[in-house]
Copies of this chain bind each other. A is one copy, B any other.
Amino acid sequence: MNLRKVCIVGIGETKFGKSMDRSITDLANEACIAAIRDAGVSHKKIQIATGAYAAQWNGPAGQYFALPQVILREIGITKIPMLRVEDGCATGSVAFRDIWYRIATGEYDIGLAFGMEKMNAADSSSIRGQISDHDSEGESELGLTAATIYGMMANRMMYQYGMTREDLARVVVKNRRFGSMNPNAQFRDAVTIEEVLNARMISDPLTLFMCCGRGDGATACILMDEKTARQYTDHPIYVAANVLTSGSYDDASDYVTFESDVVAAKQAYEMAGVGPDDIDVAELHDSFAPAELKHYEDLGFCGRGESIRMIRDGETDLGGKIVVNTSGGLLSKGHIIGATGISQINYLVRQLRDESGPRQVAGAKVALQHNSGGFIHNEFCACAMNILTR
């Protein structure tokens, strides 16, 4: 199978936050229009579109049918193949993956991937259903929510590697400092280690600031094959690797490593022909502070147990070896399920374009995006990853 080189030519997104006064169509349209304008392409040239939408917290009124069609007809995009995809927290990334593959295989030359969520529109019964009643699957009824799983992860890393509560706080301080410099982030206040440690306890040892928030927002990007991309831009960003894996709950029973992440990284490095030492900048799925540290290890940024040293020594901060979550991460932006994956990609595109202002990683050439999927008992059950190059 010969895959064509695929490039990201346009990116766009809304602010992330609370948007009770705007419809999900309105939010998604803003992101799609921004991406189309950024690419400098006519919307009539778009040949395929895939929308990411988890609808997890949107309540009955948000359980759309064929939402991509509903959204895109508003901006004049009709009559092309469209569908909606979902893969837990990796929902955004699988829309990107779908469009990437259709272009890489030569079926289409120009495609639109977009993702959106209005999580603040949820009614309480919807959230309660999500958290407590997963049909016949029993783990969540036993208390295994995302926060408790990551709490156990943190406890295990403290026991096994000597990680401290301050190390967890360091992740938050770094990411919220980046978030304070990102006008589109939801939480714009930088925080101190003391503030993080003294915040309300959610799932010991995780305090409020160590847990990502939810929110409303949308993201979009325009992909093209390399030849077409060159007609629209002199600085296309290449998708050097795209992988999707799933893992098994049973294989991760000590919670300090996710097999799906390890396998995805191995596959992505091989596909891109790079190693972790080549990565300049990364967006990693920091839904909870300990997750970011675990990712450093699963993705080979360091050895087992060495993530503590990395965060203490600032190796993932500006000026460090691999700068992680310069967007502010999920901890600053909020995890807006359908939008997150493409948001991570878009911030890396800005890094590779040298457009990240005070958050810019000087000379960034290779970027890695990592988006975890699944929920609660199957929290570990998906990993979407992209390696991007300029």
**A interface residues with partner B (beta carbon < 8 Å):** 1, 23-26, 54-56, 59-66, 69-70, 73, 78-89, 94, 98, 101-102, 105-107, 118, 121, 125-130, 133-137, 244-249, 259-260, 263, 373-378, 381-382
Question: A69-B382, A83-B94, A86-B84 known; A61 and B25 CB under 8 Å?
Answer: no
Question: A81-B244, A105-B105 known; A65 and B375 CB under 8 Å?
Answer: yes
Known contacts A60-B128, A98-B98; 12 additional CB pairs below 8 A are A54-B65, A61-B129, A63-B126, A64-B135, A66-B378, A69-B88, A69-B246, A70-B378, A73-B248, A79-B259, A83-B244, A83-B382
12 contacts between A and B (CB under 8 A): A23-B136, A55-B55, A56-B65, A60-B130, A60-B133, A61-B133, A65-B373, A66-B87, A78-B246, A79-B246, A79-B248, A82-B382
Partner of A70, one of B107, B118, B137: B137
- How far does the Cβ of A44 sit from chain B's closest Cβ, in whole Å? 13
Chain B contacts for A136, CB-based, 8 A: 23, 25-26
Chain B contacts for A376, CB-based, 8 A: 65
In the complex, what distance in Å separates the CA atom of A65 from the CA atom of B63?
Answer: 13
- How far does the Cβ of A168 sit from chain B's closest Cβ, in whole Å? 25
- How far does the Cβ of A231 sit from chain B's closest Cβ, in whole Å? 20
